[in-house]
Amino acid sequence: MRGLAVGALLLCMAAQQSWAWGHEGHRLTALVAEQYLTPETKAQVAMLLRKQTLADIASWADQYREDHRETAKWHYVSIPSAEATFDRNRDCPVSKADPNSPWRDCVTDRILYFEGRLGDTSLSTEERSFALKFLVHLIGDIHQPFHALGDYREGNDIAVTFIDSIRCSQSRCKLHAVWDSMIIEQQGLSDTQYTERLLKEIKDNHWERLAGGEPTTWANISHHYAVEAMVPSGAALTREYVAEESKVVDAQLALGGLRLARVLNRILGTPEAPAAPGTKPGPAALPKQVVEAAPAASSPAAPQQPPR
């Protein structure tokens, strides 16, 4: 567990259901992805979204699930903190809404499911647009560490306080909410400023080489981060904690954008992978576990069948 550190000035958020990255986090992931789309992919996205951008629809799936609760479990995967890696039979439940479906109800399965739907040109434009909207959102979700943690309702049952915050000194916030929005918000950056920072970090640290992989690997890395970032209920998060974990947040936002672009280029356009430099980023450039566990910079073809 990372050491507890000294409080950042953050707004308190009431207990709520897991919503992965907040609105801003999903926008940032999409804004990064847009910078890496090929021209052909951009044209396909514009056609499917009726000229809306990826950033415009990045949070749409959260709004959709308010009236479609059967989709709620698609946004996360419940890997127990005591386990090191994802196990589909243990962590990804069979769909209650459609028990006969080969696709299960967790984010790893549903990313693959929507990849296949987006790439199926026999489907209507509306059906493929629906798949694209979910895919943009779910690839963001899987990079929020607490969407790969099965304990404490993905951190929603871990109450924390911020000792430098007037609002939180007398009430309790939730650890999941800290990771959804608060660490991002306390940076005090506009969309443009934050996106430029993420793009600079990608370039400076050669993170393009980590743009590939598949959902299970991404979930395992997010899970590791969540376990490392857990604190006891009632803990006072400090400035040092936020400074340390903001590095992870930035890396996950940036990598989520790179990987989203790689997936969309593969399905909708002519893949143009970012150049993979020969130098390997070290722990100072990227949190250590990502360097050690990162997949090769290639992605499998869109699956026609769910994993077994």
Range 254-285 burial, b when 16+ CB lie within 10 A, else e: bbbbbbbbbbbbbbbbebebbeeeeeebeeeb
For 255, the 3-state DSSP assignment is: helix
Q: Residues 242-256: pLDDT tens digits? A: 999 999 999 999 999
Percent helix, strand, coil in the chain, to 5, is: 55, 5, 45
Q: Residues 43-59: pLDDT tens digits? A: 999 999 998 999 999 99
Range 58-96 burial, b when 16+ CB lie within 10 A, else e: bbbbbeebeeeeebebbbbbbbeeeeeebebeebbeebe
Report angle CA 215, 115, 303 to the nearest 5 degrees.
80
Distance between CA atoms of residues 208 and 82, nearest Å: 31
Cβ neighbors of 103 (< 8 A, separation 6 or more) are: 95, 109, 110, 112, 113, 306
Report how far Cα 174 is from the mean position of its chain's Cα atoms: 18
In this structure, what token pair is assigned to residue 171? 């009430």
Q: What is the pTM of this model?
A: 0.84
Report angle CA 28, 22, 169 to the nearest 5 degrees.
125
Domains (range + CATH), the chain? 23-293 (1.10.575.10)
Q: Exposed (0-12), middle (13-18) or buried (19+): which is 165, by Cβ within 10 Å?
A: buried
Distance between CA atoms of residues 143 and 186, nearest Å: 19
In this structure, what token pair is assigned to residue 211? 């743009």
Tell me the torsion sign for CA atoms 48, 50, 56, 57. negative
Cβ neighbors of 8 (< 8 A, separation 6 or more) are: 162, 164, 165, 182, 183, 186, 237, 238, 239, 242, 243
Q: Which segments of the chain have a pLDDT < 70? A: 1-20, 162-172, 270-308
In this structure, what token pair is assigned to residue 80? 């127990």
The pLDDT assigned to 271 comes to 58
In this structure, what token pair is assigned to residue 58? 């990045």
The pLDDT assigned to 111 comes to 98
The pLDDT assigned to 308 comes to 54
Distance between CA atoms of residues 270 and 202, nearest Å: 22
The pLDDT assigned to 166 comes to 55
The pLDDT assigned to 293 comes to 44
- What phi, psi does 237 have (nearest 5°)? -75, 135
- What phi, psi does 87 have (nearest 5°)? -125, 115
For 218, the 3-state DSSP assignment is: helix
